[in-house]
Chain A
Amino acid sequence: MYLKLKKSYFDVLDRFTPFLIIMTIVSFIIGSYFALYGSPPDYIQGDSMRIMYVHVPSAWWALMSYSVLAVSCTIWFITRNPFFNLIAKSIAPIGAVFTLIALVTGSIWGKPTWGVWWVWDARLTSMLLLFFLYLAYIFLWQAISNKDLASKISAALAMIGFINVPIIKFSVDWWNTLHQPASISKLSSPSIDESMLIPLFIMAFASLCFLITMFSVRLRIEFIESRISRLRQKIYD
Chain B
Amino acid sequence: MGGYGFYVWSSYIIFFVTISYVFIVNLMKLNEKKKKLINLEKHSDQSS
Within 9-26 of B, Cβ neighbours of A (below 8 Å) are at 10-12, 14-16, 18-19, 22-23, 26
Q: Roughly how many angstroms separate A100 CA and B23 CA in the complex, as a whole number?
A: 15
Number of A-B contacts (CB under 8 A): 89
The answer for the CA separation of A105 and B43 in the assembled complex, in Å, is 48
Q: Of A46-54, A75-83, A152-160, which stretch is located at the interface? A: A46-54
B interface bracket (residues with beta carbon within 8 Å of A)? 20 to 34
Asked if A85 lies at the interface with its beta carbon under 8 angstroms from chain B, I say: no
Q: Is the interface of B mostly helix, strand, loop or mixed?
A: helix
The interface-forming segment of A129-137, A176-184, A229-237 is A229-237
**Beyond A46-B4, A48-B4, is A228–B11 a contact (Cβ under 8 Å)?**
no
Q: Does A34 contact B (CB under 8 A)?
A: no
Closest to B12 in A: A54
Taking CB atoms, residues of chain B closer than 8 Å to A65 are: none
**A32 CB → nearest B CB, Å:** 7
Residues of B contacting A108 in the complex (Cβ-Cβ under 8 angstroms): 7, 10-11, 14
A218 engages B26 (CB within 8 Å): yes
Verify B7–A51 contact, CB threshold 8 A. yes
Docked Cα-Cα span, A228 to B19, in Å, equals: 28
Given contacts A36-B12, A47-B1, contact A234 B23 (CB under 8 A): no
Q: Known: A218-B26, A221-B29, A225-B33. Is A112-B19 also a contact (CB below 8 A)?
A: no
CA distance in complex: A41, B10 (Å): 17
6 closest A-B pairs (Cβ-Cβ)? A48-B4, A224-B33, A105-B11, A54-B15, A47-B1, A47-B4
**Residues in chain B within 8 A of chain A (CB atoms):** 1-5, 7-8, 10-12, 14-16, 18-19, 22-23, 26-27, 29-30, 33-34, 36-37, 40-41, 43-44, 47
